[in-house]
């Protein structure tokens, strides 16, 4: 096998992308691909690069990589074996991941999910990957009853590192397991695996700012390492060419204007190396698309930083408590699958072992059929509560603010106080608050979610004050106020065509919202900044924006939580869920008719089904909330009649 440095040196610029339609036939995945005329090397590469899911995924990969200059190059992928926690311990670690990111921002540990490294990255030929997966299955089966449970973990902190270290004697046992896997991999897959020789540990944080140490250490001390956990042996792979590259996520579509530019598709990933930037001018970077294998220049502000593991491919997970034999998936790489008999405790785990995201759609993750599943990912979308300007009319501002801008309510359904605005109270004209009853509506939704045991892991909302306030009161009803922070996302704002005038609302900055005791995340970086929103956007632009930001939100939260709540506008219930189900957008006329039927606090649920990335609307876990108008009552006019 060629030296790794020689393989990295083969990276060259790509040509332009071409696409073709694909068809799928029945039979063995590899046999079907060969019968379609694909060379065996290409067919194997496609199957391995898509996790061995099915023929359709492999065909999609092949057609999107038709001009990839490495398509016929026998470059092997790099593989790694991790121990991943599950059950209550994973839930605690995922909560730490979320809170540390909110409190102190992203550090190097966030690039990869919680794990214990069992070996160094190693290479395996595409034709041997099925045997490699069988080697892992065999080794885990041999260790049934021998794997130490629970694993004793001890917290360790230094000035730039925080982690949970495995007791040395137990660590030696784990290293023996890694050695057994290395022997099986060498015998069955001709792969050279080097077991990890350093101290085994779960990294919690490293390369963080010094002033964040005390906050991170306090969060780490809150992790109960004695919680139950079924440690899973999990196999991942990555493209060997981009091991030392920075991973970027495409945020906006871009059509090349010159031959040396790269087409950008939202949801795709871009690999960027500092040594390749000599040809890029200011504001541009040179990168390679994961989805196509093509390289070129791209505008820097069209991409954002992603986690390293976002582009890894998942090849199998096996429980030490219930190891089973490989399940035949009817394809050449049938051994690459999630273990079908995980401990039943996983079924109740609110933070399941979901593999990291693969690549831009339509590629999806492999799942076993007709077998117990991990908890499904769920997306809730909710409209804001009752708004002031609808109840009291557009002139409510002149009724409630005096000449000096002081607010005094004139009705019990008006809030007792309002957040101060740097632009003055006239900014409320386009960005009104919710009423007291709107706050009550939102709290009722939160209480209902609490009663249904539907814990919310992440909350995103439109920048409109009515949405932020609604999200805040939902969290209050959930008893998660101050624990789960609201991520204010401008990309969730309603269709800008509906905004009166020639400018967008002057929304309250997150720092001012936090100062007004609203539970917002002031460190959150939006997927679509306010500067990217324009007045009077077309219907297609709004629908595509909503779809794009929803996908990016779900991708951002993957592996860190199971349930996402979006609080936005009536239009969001349709715009944020329809294309997630694989449906085409409705025409604008039908869309408007749907939106008109959605009341305050209208609530819908969208659940991931089958393979990763496929969603469907399901019954929400809460009852509907019905409410009616209550006109102003003047006792003088009604009761003092002659």
SS (H, E, C) 325-391: CCCCCCCCCCCCCECCCCCHHHHHCCCCCCCCCCCCCCCCCCCCCCCCCCCCCEEEEEECCCEHHHH
Residues 6+ apart with CB under 8 A from 542: 494, 495, 496, 497, 571, 575
Do 438 and 579 fall into the same domain?
Answer: yes
Q: How many CB atoms lie within 10 A of CB 83?
A: 23
The 10s digit of each residue's pLDDT in 558-568 is 888 889 999 99
Whether the Cβ atoms of residue 284 and residue 297 lie closer than 8 Å to each other: yes
Do 50 and 199 sit in the same domain of this protein?
no
The mean pLDDT value for 466-478 works out to 96
The answer to whether 384 is a known catalytic residue is yes
Rounded-to-integer distance, Cα 158 and Cα 581, Å: 46
**Same domain (yes/no): 180, 272:** no
For residue 247, what pLDDT is reported? 93
CATH number (domain holding residue 200): 3.90.1140.10
* Res 610: pLDDT: 61
Cis peptide preceding 556, ω within 30 of 0: no
For residues 308 and 436, which has the higher predicted lDDT (pLDDT)? 436
Per residue in 456-477, is it b (16+ CB within 10 Å) or e — as a string?
bbbbbbbbbbbbbbbbbbbbbb
Among 65, 93, 115, the domain boundary falls at 65
| pLDDT exceeds 50 at position 494 | yes
- pLDDT for 322: 67
Q: Point out the catalytic residue in the list 115, 551, 569, 578.
A: 569
Range of the domain at 83: 77-241+311-316
Parallel, antiparallel or unpaired: strands 563-568 and 378-383:
parallel
CA angle 236, 143, 116 (to 5 degrees): 40
Catalytic residue among 318, 383, 387, 421: 383
| Contacts with 473 (C-beta within 8 Å, 6 or more apart), sequence order | 385, 439, 440, 442, 443, 446
Based on the fold, state whether residues 202 and 278 are members of the same structural domain: no
The neighbour count for residue 134, using CB atoms within 10 Å, is: 19
The answer to whether 71 and 93 have CB atoms below 8 angstroms apart is no
Residues 6+ apart with CB under 8 A from 82: 115, 116, 117, 118, 233, 234, 236
CATH at 561: 3.40.50.1240
Cis bond leading into 150, ω under 30°? Answer: yes
The verdict on 128 and 275 lying in the same domain is: no
Q: What is the DSSP letter of 117?
A: E
CA distances from 329 to 30, 58, 234, 372 (A): 12, 14, 18, 16
Looking from the CA of 535 toward its CB, the CA atoms found within 13 Å total: 8
Q: Are residues 574 and 580 in contact, defined by beta-carbon separation less than 8 angstroms?
A: no
* Residue 383: active-site member: yes
Distance CA 642, CA 627 (A): 34
> Residue 502 has what pLDDT?
85
CA-CA distances (angstroms) from residue 223 to 113, 163, 437, 507? 16, 11, 39, 37
Confidence of residue 376 (pLDDT cuts 50, 70, 90): confident
| Shared-domain flag, residues 173 and 297 | no
Do the domain assignments include residue 114?
yes
Q: Are residues 131 and 47 in the same domain?
A: no
- Under a CB-based contact definition with an 8 Å cutoff, are residues 7 and 75 in contact? yes
Dihedral sign for Cα 529, 300, 565, 543, please. positive
Residues 534 and 603 in one domain: yes
Instruction: Kindly tell me if the per-residue pLDDT of 458 is higher than 90.
Output: yes
Are 479 and 603 found together in one domain? yes
Banded pLDDT at 285 (limits 50, 70, 90): very high
Q: What is the pTM of this model?
A: 0.52
Q: Which of 271, 288, 316 is the last residue of a domain?
A: 316
Domain co-membership, 157 together with 261: no
Of the residues 77, 101, 384, 443, which is catalytic? 384
Q: Mark whether 473 and 608 lie in a shared domain.
A: yes
Confidence of residue 642 (pLDDT cuts 50, 70, 90): low
- Beta-strand pair 153-157/232-238: unpaired
Q: What is the mean pLDDT of residues 210-234?
A: 89
Q: In sequence order, what are the beta bridge partners of 381? A: 566, 604
**Mean pLDDT, the chain, as a whole number?**
84
Q: Is 220 found in the same domain as 120?
A: yes
Instruction: Give 243-273 pLDDT, tens digit per residue.
Output: 889 999 998 889 999 889 999 998 899 999 8
The strand order across the sheet containing 269-272 reads: 295-299, 284-289, 269-272, 246-250, 303-305
Q: Is residue 194 part of a domain?
A: yes
> In the chain, how many domains are there?
4
Q: Is residue 348 part of a domain?
A: no
């Amino acid at each position: 096998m060629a030296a790794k440095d020689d393989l990295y040196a083969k990276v060259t610029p790509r040509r332009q992308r071409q696409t073709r339609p694909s068809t799928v036939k029945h039979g063995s995945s590899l046999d079907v691909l060969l019968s379609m005329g694909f060379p065996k090397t290409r067919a194997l590469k496609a199957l391995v690069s898509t996790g061995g899911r099915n023929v359709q995924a492999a065909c999609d990969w092949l057609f999107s990589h038709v001009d990839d200059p490495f398509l016929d190059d026998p470059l092997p992928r790099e593989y790694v074996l991790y121990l991943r926690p599950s059950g209550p311990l994973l839930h605690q670690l995922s909560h730490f991941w979320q809170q540390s990111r909110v409190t102190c921002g992203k550090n190097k540990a966030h690039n990869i999910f919680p794990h214990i490294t069992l070996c160094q990255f190693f290479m395996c030929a595409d034709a041997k990957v099925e045997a490699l997966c069988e080697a892992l299955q065999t080794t885990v089966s041999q260790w049934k009853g021998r794997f130490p449970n629970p694993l004793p973990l001890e917290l360790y902190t230094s000035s730039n590192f925080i982690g949970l270290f495995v007791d040395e004697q137990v660590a030696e046992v784990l290293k023996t397991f890694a050695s057994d896997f290395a022997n099986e991999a060498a015998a069955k897959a001709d792969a050279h695996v080097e077991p990890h020789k350093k101290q085994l540990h779960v990294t919690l944080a490293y390369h963080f700012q010094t002033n964040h140490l005390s906050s991170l250490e306090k969060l780490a001390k809150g992790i109960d390492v004695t919680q139950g956990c079924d440690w899973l042996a999990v196999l991942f792979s990555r493209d060997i060419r981009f091991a030392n590259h920075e991973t970027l996520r495409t945020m906006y579509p871009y059509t090349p204007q010159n031959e040396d530019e790269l087409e950008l598709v939202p949801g795709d990933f871009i690999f960027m190396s500092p040594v390749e930037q000599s040809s890029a001018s200011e504001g541009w970077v040179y990168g390679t698309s994961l989805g196509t294998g093509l390289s070129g220049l791209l505008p820097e502000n069209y991409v954002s930083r992603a986690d390293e593991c976002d582009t890894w491919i998942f090849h199998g997970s096996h429980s030490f408590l219930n190891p089973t034999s490989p399940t035949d998936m009817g394809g050449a790489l049938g051994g690459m699958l999630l273990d079908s008999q995980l401990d039943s405790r996983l079924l109740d785990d609110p933070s399941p072992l979901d593999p990291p995201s693969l690549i831009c759609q339509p590629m999806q993750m492999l799942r076993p059929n007709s077998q117990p599943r991990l908890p499904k990912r769920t997306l809730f979308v909710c409209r804001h509560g009752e708004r002031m300007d609808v109840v009291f009319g557009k002139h409510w501002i002149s009724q409630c603010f005096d000449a000096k801008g002081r607010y005094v309510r004139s009705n019990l359904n008006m809030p007792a106080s309002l957040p101060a605005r740097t632009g003055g109270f006239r900014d409320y004209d386009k960005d009104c608050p919710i009423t007291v009853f709107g706050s009550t509506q939102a709290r009722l939704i939160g209480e209902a979610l609490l009663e249904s045991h539907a814990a919310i892991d992440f909350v995103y909302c439109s920048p409109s004050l009515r949405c932020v306030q609604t999200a805040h009161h939902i969290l209050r009803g959930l008893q998660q106020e101050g624990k789960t922070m609201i991520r204010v996302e401008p990309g969730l704002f309603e269709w800008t065509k509906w905004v009166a005038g020639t400018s967008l609302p002057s929304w309250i900055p997150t720092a001012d919202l936090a100062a007004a005791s609203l539970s917002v995340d002031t460190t959150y970086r939006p997927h679509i900044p306010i500067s990217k929103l324009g007045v009077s956007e077309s219907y297609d632009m709004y629908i595509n924006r909503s779809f794009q930001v929803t996908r990016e939100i779900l991708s951002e939260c993957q592996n860190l939580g199971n349930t996402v709540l979006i609080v936005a506008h009536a239009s969001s219930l349709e715009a944020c869920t329809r294309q997630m189900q694989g449906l085409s957008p409705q025409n604008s006329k039908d869309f408007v008719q749907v939106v008109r039927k959605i009341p305050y606090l209208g609530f819908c649920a969208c659940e991931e089904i089958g393979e990763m990335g496929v969603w469907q609307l399901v019954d929400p876990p809460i009852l509907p909330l019905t409410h009616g108008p209550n006109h102003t009552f003047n006792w003088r006019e009604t009761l003092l009649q002659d």
